[in-house]
Structure 1
């Protein structure tokens, strides 16, 4: 019996109605995320030393550990932590353009590549030595070597870890990035760095883009170099994720552990979107006003996503982790700062 012309319309309506309860479930959590996001920006405005990203993670963690993150809020905060963060990563690509790499020169590019490679490899080795779970060590290594929470989000699916692994990695990059805002400007004089060199050091060593801007802004004349170096470092996010995914896929195939009929994408779709955004910006066709608006949206979405991620940070989980993850994070922070400083001193920027 052939279905009538109204059957497809009926099924479409049924599908939309089926989705409505799930969408309504998101509203309480997203409302809390929106309020916490506004509070984070307000706090950053009132306290110049405070970064909105840091405030967002702290507010999210406070909700969770105060027992205020109830079941009604979890669908919305999870949506923010996963979907909004992925959109923010894609929009981050619109802040990058391939000519920025050319502006760095070979020496500046070498500093960026060496810093990322040594930090990523060294952090994973230290994690293995400390006995930190491999997925957690991989996420920490990615966050510290590239761009904090955005990098952790990009590597999350490839790492095949759990929510605790992600929460710990986010907590560590937030902690150390916040410490960098305070400590790195104090070290500029003793380390003998002029403003441009200091900016290059900050761009090559501080994790999150917002933390980089906050740190470099404390030294007049350092911000431009810091942003150029930092965004050039972010460009390495996609090849790093793709390289790890390819290596794991080959190991799984060689050991026969791959699941038949289940072939996850080599690179997560939003990382492909990130690369496409870089390519689009590099054409020069996107109006400056659009890029500026996209940058604002990206910053807001990232802070909102960090509120959601912050709700996954539980003091009990950090206690169960013991001091090993904290030692790993601090070691990675010292490693990235030391390698970047050596590179800036030896190779220039």
Structure 2
């Protein structure tokens, strides 16, 4: 894709980031949430013209780049202090989420098996990306993929608003809130936005926790592919598919954590990198806001939404109680 096609949308992202920063400084609102609100207003007001879409759709690239650079502000020592505990919580919550969604889908609400599995993957790992990855392994229908993706996006929009409010009301510490958001919310963008809206430390822990969940996408895809293959309804995923769905920015993030731990970056360089990833997050969240479209959310089936709502309430309460006990 030529740079000329990307330029108009990139200009909109940059303008949105500047306006969000200005509003945040002037009014005292969190500039990352303002950025999402601006993108939301554009998508649900005048709409996003076709000529802007290619550039605006690069927001996932800027989010990934920001996450990579954030690795320079962390060290292995800081991560390892509670890293093993966080990984244990992540694995446990993923397992609980999958079981809860599958049981609700099949035994309580009577949804089709494939649709329930897509909802479980989206809720337990990384939102729409996990829905798409698992769909290819279990041969889900297009309408099932659409329902699952729309349901995930609906709750992404809801949790962006609700989680900071709940965290503030409960007076959660930065670490507890960050890990809670990272382990129980769905998609990477909303997790990072909510974490940094709460505090810098919460944002770092939310991002690290979410990355550890994302890295397990291959395990979940293989598990579902094996199950459905035994049922005669799925196929074995290729190495190419697993690599295509694996979040590459995890590797970049780890690389910069290692460099930071080795003392490669000076204090001035760390400050510059921190400023850079904050601006990249602003660009990404303006674009993220345009993905939240009211018209599409209205088309979400009621039953899938109820399944995910019940599971989200159960899993978020369970994970929060677990984290409060551990930390």
TM-score normalised over the length of structure 2: 0.72
Query: 1:36 Cα shift?
Result: 1.8
Tell whether the 8 Å contact from 1:29 to 1:77 is kept in structure 2 after alignment. Answer: yes
Q: Distance in 2 between matches of 1:105 and 1:235?
A: 12
Q: Distance in 2 between matches of 1:91 and 1:163?
A: 33
Partner of 1:158: 133
Partner of 2:176: 201
Partner of 2:243: 267
Aligned residue pairs, count: 302
After superposition, residues 120-269 of structure 1 pair within 5 angstroms as 121-123=99-101, 125-126=103-104, 130=109, 131=111, 133=115, 134-142=117-125, 151-152=126-127, 155=130, 157-160=132-135, 166=149, 168-188=151-171, 198-206=173-181, 207=185, 208-215=191-198, 217=199, 226=202, 229-248=205-224, 250=226, 255=232, 258=235, 264-268=240-244
1:70 aligns with 2:49: yes
Query: 1:127 Cα shift?
Result: 5.4
* Bigger Cα Rg: 1
- Equivalent of 2:81 in 103, 109, 112: 103
Tell whether the 8 Å contact from 1:37 to 1:303 is kept in structure 2 after alignment. Answer: yes
1:311 aligns with 2:294: no
TM-score normalised over the length of structure 1: 0.68
CA separation of 1:273/1:73 partners in 2, compared to 1, >3 Å: closer, same or farther? closer
Query: 1:240 Cα shift?
Result: 1.5
CA separation of 1:59/1:156 partners in 2, compared to 1, >3 Å: closer, same or farther? farther
Listed one character per residue, the Cα deviations across residues 54-95 of structure 1 (whole Å, up to 9, x for unaligned) are: 3333322322222431221122222x2443334344445445
Partner of 1:83: 61
Tell whether the 8 Å contact from 2:98 to 2:120 is kept in structure 1 after alignment. Answer: no
Partner of 1:11: none
Structure 2 residue matching 1:37: 3-state secondary structure: helix
> Structure 2: which 5+ runs fail to align?
136-141, 186-190
Query: 1:291 Cα shift?
Result: 4.1
1:118 aligns with 2:109: no
CA separation of 1:280/1:33 partners in 2, compared to 1, >3 Å: closer, same or farther? closer
Tell whether the 8 Å contact from 2:69 to 2:273 is kept in structure 1 after alignment. Answer: yes
Listed one character per residue, the Cα deviations across residues 165-215 of structure 1 (whole Å, up to 9, x for unaligned) are: 556534422421322212332234xxxxxx6xx444312322423423433
- Equivalent of 1:31 in 5, 8, 11: 11
Tell whether the 8 Å contact from 1:154 to 1:241 is kept in structure 2 after alignment. Answer: no
- Equivalent of 1:300 in 272, 279, 288: 279
Q: Distance in 1 between matches of 2:300 and 2:3?
A: 35
CA separation of 1:46/1:179 partners in 2, compared to 1, >3 Å: closer, same or farther? farther
1:278 aligns with 2:254: yes
What RMSD in Å do the two structures reach over aligned CA positions?
A: 3.8
Partner of 1:40: 20
CA separation of 1:44/1:155 partners in 2, compared to 1, >3 Å: closer, same or farther? farther
CA separation of 1:109/1:157 partners in 2, compared to 1, >3 Å: closer, same or farther? closer
Query: 1:158 Cα shift?
Result: 1.9
Query: 1:278 Cα shift?
Result: 1.0
Q: Distance in 2 between matches of 1:99 and 1:111?
A: 19
CA separation of 1:342/1:309 partners in 2, compared to 1, >3 Å: closer, same or farther? closer
Tell whether the 8 Å contact from 1:56 to 1:310 is kept in structure 2 after alignment. Answer: yes
CA separation of 1:56/1:248 partners in 2, compared to 1, >3 Å: closer, same or farther? farther
